[in-house]
Amino acid sequence: MPKLKDLILTLLLAQPCLAATPGPITITTPTGTTSLTPAQLATLPIITEHIAFGTEKGPISADFAGPLLWSILTHAHPIPLKSAVRGAVIITGADGYTALIALGELAPAFENKPIILATSINAKPLPPGHFRIVVPQDAKGGRSVYDVVNLTEFFEPNPPK
């Protein structure tokens, strides 16, 4: 039987995910738009990270599992290293909440931070089609976007030579 603390934590973490309509994630890049369905996302390698961060309701500490955000973006299209250092992705939730992450944080050749699109919390799956970005080592959960529906990449232009 699950411990009450674990059950409360799971409900606290998953509750905001129940509001959005399940569906694909749209990835918008400077060259076009594509969608990844929950079934397509399920084919990507899954990692588990223990992540702790502060919230307005107090600290949260849990095991989040899902594909790396970098894997999702590079599954949609290749990202050259020279572009990664001058690019970012805006993550948008179904409620309109957004957060920005530099691609240099994600790229394996640079920071290689294991930012994941969580599909489960403490080994309990989130409702189908409801995904959450979680950022390890952030002191606050401000970039933890619930019910992710869109990833928008942008790049600064190459400097003149």
Q: pTM (2 decimals)?
A: 0.82
| 76 CB-near residues (< 8 Å, 6+ apart) | 27, 29, 34, 36
pLDDT on residue 125: 93
3-state SS, residue 33: strand
Domain ranges for the chain, please list them: 4-155
> With 50 as the cut, is the pLDDT of residue 40 above it?
yes
Assigned fold of 4-155: Sulfite Oxidase; Chain A, domain 2 (3.90.420)
> With 90 as the cut, is the pLDDT of residue 18 above it?
no
pLDDT on residue 92: 96
Determine the average pLDDT of the residues in 2-29.
53
3-state SS, residue 98: strand
pLDDT, the chain, mean: 85
110-142 pLDDT, tens per residue? 999 999 999 999 999 998 889 999 999 999 999
pLDDT on residue 80: 87
Q: Which two tokens stand for residue 65?
A: 């599992």
pLDDT on residue 31: 86
Q: Which two tokens stand for residue 54?
A: 């502060």
27 vs 157, which has greater pLDDT?
A: 27
103 vs 3, which has greater pLDDT?
A: 103
